Amino acid sequence: MDKREKQSELLNLSEVPLFRSLSAQEVDQILERQGTWEAPVGTFVIEEGQPGDEFYVILQGQVEIVRALSNAEESHLGIRHSCEFIGEIGLLNQGKPRTATARVLETARLLRVKYSDFSDLLKIHPELAYEMASVLSARLTEALNENIRNLRDKNEKLQQAYDDLKAAQAQIIEKEKLEHSLQVARRIQYSILPMRIPQTAGYDIGALMKPAQAVGGDFFGVYPLNEQHMALIVGDVSDKGMPAAIFMAQSHALLRASIQSGVSTTVALERVNNLLLEMNAQGLFVTVIYGILDKSNGEFRYTRAGHELPLILDAQGTISFPERGTGMPLGLTDYPRLEERSLSIPPGGFMLLYSDGAADDRDTDKVRFGDERFHEIVRRFGIASPAQQTCEAIYAALVAFQTSAPQFDDVTLLAVRRLS
């Protein structure tokens, strides 16, 4: 070290509050005895958990003090600058592990002071103890305040986590209650529909209803009227979920009560429409096809209230539809235009009543299943398979088409095969 560098370090050391009361000769003796060294950026001057028997005076540069370095509990305790010292806590716990890490942030020149040498210096200059005690007190207060801040921050995070957990638990409970309510509603809805499909000589009848949500707005009915006639119904409410399910139950109950032998299908639907208008606060409507099958000759006399046309498949696999005629949905106007029409199920043929969800299903790319695919499935199974199996095969094709996409709409199928 040349004379100029030594004078500079003497000047720096004399400015350190801890040594300000010492003479120039005493400061020089400390510098000569202890020596200085230059620490590059990133140097660990002190490492937490390691024992030490010295503290350091920063003559130049900056040193960062960190606790629990590279740990989830890491905390920044401050930055020490020129004329400050580090490692002084060890004076109180000599030989014990360090309580923090000191890492150089800006190239630093440091003076190393052994605890034993400082103790000898205190015997000559006891006033140094006051300065050291003042710094220690300030540092301990700073560390305590930092711990309090950390604890407060952790408490706030724990409280937030606890509040979030309570909210999540409440949501889970509400979700479970809702799911239970929906399951009950679904059981009630299915109990409204025929538990067993009535069969009759000369015909094979099958049906299937799959709501897009827990409950839906579709319904169907198969009701024997007398030895000669059977009522067939398929309906579709203009919505999904719980509102549609409630309106569906109302519509089905009113229609079931209006079915009477000898009463035309048009008159029955007009009665239902008038009653729906009185209770339709939600502005919903329902499409219905209601018809009476004459088992002796396969004639099906029906009224269509805005619903899909019946599909007829003959024994040769040809699909046909009756003329559209007039038919408006129920629940919208006082006097919907309705018209009773008839068709015949040919011997060995097949009739399918269905809701529009059967062809409207979508895949993950929003591509519609469509009439062409729907008709192809009907042709494939409609002649050779039992009616119930045909309904299930159609729905299985819809599920395979939609892949992972949710079901787009409620699906209802009512199949009637006239045996040869």
Per-residue pLDDT of the chain (420 residues; tens, 9 = 90+): 555 565 566 666 667 777 777 777 777 777 777 778 889 999 999 898 888 888 888 888 999 988 888 887 788 888 898 888 888 777 777 778 888 899 999 999 888 888 888 888 778 888 777 777 777 777 777 777 777 777 788 888 888 887 887 777 777 667 665 565 556 555 655 566 667 888 889 999 999 988 887 777 888 999 999 989 999 999 998 877 777 777 888 888 888 888 877 789 999 999 999 988 887 757 789 999 999 999 999 999 999 999 999 999 999 999 999 999 899 999 989 999 999 999 999 999 999 999 988 888 888 888 999 999 999 999 999 888 999 999 999 999 999 998 888 888 889 999 999 997
Q: Which CATH number applies to 193-418? A: 3.60.40.10
Q: Are 3-151 and 193-418 the same fold in CATH?
A: no
Q: Where are the beta strands (DSSP E) in 201-252?
A: 203-210, 218-224, 229-237
Count Cα atoms within 13 angstroms, Cβ side, for 238: 14
What pLDDT shows up at residue 182?
53
**Token pair for 6:** 């030594």
Q: What is the CA angle 41-30-117, rounded to 5?
A: 95
Stated as kind and residue range, the H or E segment containing 194 is none
Helix (H) or strand (E) holding 360: helix 357-360
Whole-angstrom distance, CA of residue 16 vs CA of residue 68: 29
3-state secondary structure of 389: helix
What is the pLDDT at residue 176? 64
Helix, strand, coil in percent for the chain, rounding step 5: 40, 25, 30
Question: Which residues, in sequence order, are bridge partners of residue 342?
Answer: 301
Q: Residue 173 has what pLDDT?
A: 64
Phi and psi at residue 106, in whole multiples of 5°?
-135, 130
Q: For residue 209, what are the CA distances in angstroms to 71, 205, 232?
A: 58, 14, 14
In a 10 Å sphere around its CB, with 0-12 CB exposed, 13-18 middle and 19+ buried, how is residue 287 labelled? buried
Helix ranges (H only) for 15-108 are: 24-34
Q: With left for phi above 0 and alpha for psi between -120 and 50, is residue 241 left, alpha or beta?
A: left
Within 13 A of 313's CA, how many CA atoms are on the CB side? 23
Q: How much is the pLDDT for 309?
A: 95
Rounded CA-CA distance 235/404 in Å is: 27
Sheet arrangement for strand 411-418: 203-210, 411-418, 350-354, 311-313, 319-320
Residue extents of the structural domains in the chain: 3-151, 193-418
pLDDT at 384: 83
Concatenate the DSSP letters of all residues of 116-154 into one string.
HHHHHHHHH-THHHHHHHHHHHHHHHHHHHHHHHHHHHH
> What is the CATH code of the structural domain delimited by 3-151?
2.60.120.10
User: What pLDDT, on a 0 to 100 scale, did the predictor assign at position 292?
Assistant: 95
Cα separation of 338 and 305, whole Å?
Answer: 6
What does the pLDDT read at residue 412?
92
Count CA within 13 A, CB hemisphere, residue 32. Answer: 7
